[in-house]
Amino acid sequence: MKRVVLSMILAIGSLNAYNISLNKRFTSQVVPKKLGLSVSINIRDKDLNSVLNKLTEYSDFIKSFKGLEINGGIFNTNPEYRYYNNKRKKIGYRGNLYFQIKSKDDNKLKEFVSMLSAKNSGSNVDLSISSSSWQVAPKDIDAKKDELRFEAIKWANKYANKLSQKLNSECKVISIDFGSFNYPRPPIVYARDMNTNKVESMPTPIRKSQKFSVNPHIKFECK
C-alpha cells in the first residue's frame, strides 16, 4: 500500500506563494535470476606447504567449472597450537579458502556441489556450503532504480497539475530528493557441512519476487 505524508509550509516573504512538501513511497518487485552459494574449505596439516598445495588444488578445481559465475578465492593460513602441561606446542597449520558462486541454472549448482563433495576424500579437509538465496543481478537493480525514479517524477508532475486545479493556483515541482533506495537483502536460507563423499540432493531455496522501494521527498511551489 502506498502512503503519502503531506505537510504544508508557508513561504516567508510572500503572502501569495507557499510551498507544499510530501513524502511518497513507490514500490516494485523483481524476480531474481541467479542462485548464489558460499563455499568454505578448511584444511589442516602438519606442514604449511601441504596446506598451501591442498588449497591450490581445491582452488583450481573450483575455477575449472566454466559454466558458473565464480568470485572470491580468498585464502588464509594460521599455525595451530596445543597445550601440554601448560606449554604451547605447534601441531601444524590450518588453511581456509572461500568462494562465492552464482548461476541461473540450479541444476549446474547441484552438479557442482555433488562433484565438490565427491572430491572431499581427505579426513583433514572440511567443506561447508551455504545458500544466500536467489539474488537480483546488479544491472536489474540499477534498471529498477531508474524505473522507480521516472515513476516518481511523472507522478510529481501530475500531482502538481492536480494541486493547481484543486487550489485554484499555479503549482509546480521545485525539488525531488530521492534519498536512499530500499532493497532488503535476502537472508541465508540453509547451511550444511559436507563431510561425506556423496551428496544425494541439495535443497533449492524457493524463488520469490523481491520488493524494491524509493521514498522521495517532493516539494511544490504554489502561487
Candidates 22, 24, 57, 79; CA nearest to 220 is 22
pLDDT of residue 66: 87
Round to whole Å and give the CA distance between 91 and 81: 5
pLDDT tens, position by position, 16-71: 789 999 999 999 988 888 888 899 999 999 999 999 999 999 999 999 998 899 99
pLDDT of residue 184: 60
pLDDT of residue 119: 84
What is the pTM for the complete model shown? 0.63
pLDDT of residue 185: 58
Per-residue pLDDT in tens (0 to 9) along the chain, 223 residues:
344 334 444 443 355 789 999 999 999 988 888 888 899 999 999 999 999 999 999 999 999 998 899 999 999 999 999 888 888 889 999 999 999 999 988 888 888 988 988 887 667 888 888 876 788 888 888 899 999 999 999 999 999 999 999 999 999 999 999 987 776 655 444 444 444 444 445 667 777 888 889 999 999 999 9
Round to whole Å and give the CA distance between 51 and 96: 9
pLDDT of residue 35: 86
61 close to 121: Cβ distance less than 8 angstroms? no
